[in-house]
Amino acid sequence: MIYSEFKKMVNISKEEISGQILERNRDSIKVKKEEKVIENLIKIIDATLDICSKKSFQAMSIRDLSAASGLSRGALYSYFINKEELLILILSQGREIANRVLTQQIARGSSPLEKLRLAIKSHIYLSEAMQTWFYFTYIEARSLPRDEQKRTIESELYTEKIFIDIINEGIAKKIFRNENVILAASVLKAMLQDWYMKRWKYKNRKVSVDDYADFVIHVMESILLI
């Protein structure tokens, strides 16, 4: 699997995402016409993620968002109750998609080695397709209210647990060396995160998403394979 295939297979269109947000937040969205909602939610979320790649969510004012999205300040409040709810909206929806796609993709593998490769590729490809969202989540995590912060950490540990399980299975089947599993999974996660956190660096150096994925797989195989 390469990135272009992944993108075809996994449809992460903005319309789909906005549609799901609408479903899950009918109460707090005051506008009734579905088309309008989807159209404007896309504008709002795009603008938010764009602004927040340069400054923090807290530093983004509703005035900024109004200017960037093209909606007036008043109109914005027809789509979310307050600024904090907008943040939660974006985070929860992204989390839902990311967890779903990752779990689906890994299920396609049979051997631990195949699963490991699939896990690495789908995580990197997913973070490539949703780069601004991944970046946003990482960066904003600590500014969240307690509940939301807890959910973010849970989601992070859940992903890591997937890696830990795969590695453990490989060790049990004598395919992988008996390494420190916690540390192996941790450094893997660190490498995966670097892809979306340092996108500018890899872009400048002309490292493609497929190059990066292959290299991370190579590193993990170097330490794990017998």
Partner DNA sequence: GTCTATACATAGATAGAC
Partner DNA sequence: GTCTATCTATGTATAGAC
Give me 173's structure tokens: 């089947």
Residue positions counted in the chain: 226
The amino acid present at 213, given as its one-letter code, is A
Q: 3-class SS at 225?
A: strand
Name which of DNA, a second copy, none residue 107 binds, using a CB cut-off of 5 to 8 Å depending on partner kind: none
47 belongs to the binding site for a second copy (CB under 8 A): no
Q: By CB neighbour count within 10 A (0-12 exposed, 13-18 middle, 19+ buried), where does 170 fall?
A: buried
Residues 205-224 close enough to bind a second copy by CB under 8 A: 205, 207, 211-212, 215-216, 218-219, 222-223
Residue 75 or 223: which CB sits closer to DNA?
A: 75
Among 7, 26, 73, 100, binds DNA (CB under 7 A): 73
Paired strand residues for 225? 176
- Report if residue 22 touches DNA, rule: CB under 7 A: no
CB of 226 to a second copy, least distance (A): 13
Does 150 contact a second copy by CB under 8 A? no
From the CB of 71, what's the least distance to DNA, in Å?
4
Nearer to DNA, 79 or 196 (CB): 79
Rounded to the nearest 5°, which phi and psi values hold at 225? Answer: -65, 140
Instruction: Say how far apart CA 57 and CA 80 lie, in whole Å.
Output: 15
Backbone angles phi, psi at 176, to 5 degrees: -105, 155
Shortest distance, position 112 Cβ to a second copy, whole Å: 18
Tell me the torsion sign for CA atoms 66, 95, 197, 147: positive
75 binds a second copy (CB under 8 A): no
Residues at the interface with a second copy (CB under 8 A): 53-56, 58-59, 139, 142-143, 180, 182-183, 186-187, 189-191, 193-194, 198, 201-202, 205, 207, 211-212, 215-216, 218-219, 222-223
